[in-house]
Amino acid sequence: VHAYERSNRVFNYSLDPCGPVHITVGDGGNREKMAIVHADEPGECPDPLSTPDPHLSGLCALNFTAGPAAGQFCWDRQPDFSAFRDSSFGHGILE
């Protein structure tokens, strides 16, 4: 499984031009299959009571109290901190 996500500059949980950029390559902990959809895409938010992961069922639904996901199980758009993400990323070179 290969995936890639790059954040915008974030410091103290806020967008900040002086903050670092975080890059994640790979799907650490993914045991199901390649994740080709994201929960914030229309129609892709799973039902919190039927999620296949017994450790998450019913838990995440209570976590969002502010921002784009307030009162929801899923965000309804890509988070502001996320600059780019791709589920099918293969291999890359940092220059």
Contact 15, 80 (CB under 8 A): yes
pLDDT in tens, the chain (95 residues): 457 788 899 888 788 999 999 887 776 666 666 666 676 677 777 666 666 665 554 455 455 666 666 766 676 677 778 887 776 666 666 67
pLDDT of residue 1: 44
Contact 71, 64 (CB under 8 A): yes
